[in-house]
Amino acid sequence: MLSILIPVFNYDCSKLIADVHHQATMEQIPFEILVYDDCSTRLQPLSASVLALPNVKYHIMETNQGRSCIRNLLAAKASYNNLLFLDCDSAIVRNDFIKTYIGQIGTADCICGGTTYPNPNDVSREYILHLTYGIKREMAANKQAVPSFMANNFLIRRDIFMKLHFDETILGYGHEDTLFGIMLRKNKYSLRMIDNPVMHLGLTKMKDFLNNNKVAAMNLRLLYNNPKYTADMASIRLVKTYNKIHKTGFDKILRMFRKPLSGVLRSRLSGSRPSLFALDLYKLIWFCS
């Protein structure tokens, strides 16, 4: 009935596996948990107790496949037609997490459960930028009238996923999920957002978070440059801003002063109360570049 798919990179997800295994067992449904480590550079082996659980299959890739490819591989290996994808740095926060998803099967072609974040008082300052973005943007997206696809916690029919799959030409960090959401809409598959979040534990430090956003912005620009997707991206915040400033030629100024502006913004974003406007401008600079 349910294949729970967890791609792993540099993270010990033993507790996540144990929690979803316990909940799925309590529901008395046929299920499996496939855990594929994508050739971690800092391998975090699963605990022996988790490896001994029935229906858990753990595999370590010999070479790194990338964020898109590893998800596609997990779906191809799945035994059931309902796929629940969970990021490895997630924590289950509700006792009825699996039960809720089971009750939603058939209500939409793809269902996203949403994301929550730790209490800011429990997070050190070096992670505050990522946390601020997560609370103000990702958690806010859970409540939008028009749902946005989020790849960290979603349920989808296997036949639909295999038809669309993640684009394996998107390398590095970011926006393979944006394109997948676009393909869902273009193919007229229904998408629902429900209140069934996981907590994002894998916060990154400011420097790494900004580097990830830089790569993501450049990935988005590559997609935007593809005529197949340009029109479909008009509603994305970053693209909307770019389209406005491009008419005035301001994007040329951002390209010209990319390095000094990026340095100033990185400094502004390193404080205890980072501005998401500054983060948006930082991403815009790299999108223009």
Q: Which domains does the chain have, with CATH numbers?
A: 2-203 (3.90.550.10), 205-289 (no CATH)
Q: What is the pLDDT of the chain when averaged over all its residues? A: 91
Q: What pLDDT, on the 0 to 100 scale, is given for residue 127?
A: 94
Q: What is the reported pLDDT for 200? A: 96
3-class secondary structure, 142: coil
Can you say whether residue 138 is alpha, beta or left, with left for phi > 0 and alpha for psi between -120 and 50 degrees?
Answer: alpha
- How do residues 53-85 score in pLDDT, each as one tens digit? 999 999 999 998 888 999 999 999 999 999 999
Pairwise pLDDT comparison (237 vs 85), residue with the higher score: 85
How many distinct helices (H) and strands (E) make up the chain?
Answer: 13, 10
Task: Say whether pLDDT at 143 is over 80.
Answer: no
- What pLDDT does residue 145 have? 62
Judged against a pLDDT cut of 70, whether residue 108 lies above it is answered with yes
Confidence of residue 289 (pLDDT cuts 50, 70, 90): confident
The predicted model gives 237-250 an average pLDDT of 90
Rounded CA separation 218/204 (Å): 19
Q: Can you give the length of the chain in residues?
A: 289
Kindly report the backbone phi and psi dihedral angles of residue 21, in degrees, each rounded to the nearest multiple of 5, phi listed first.
-65, -45
Give the residue, 79 or 234, on which the prediction is more confident.
79
What's the pLDDT at 72?
Answer: 96
pLDDT tens figures, 254-285: 888 888 998 899 888 988 889 999 999 999 99
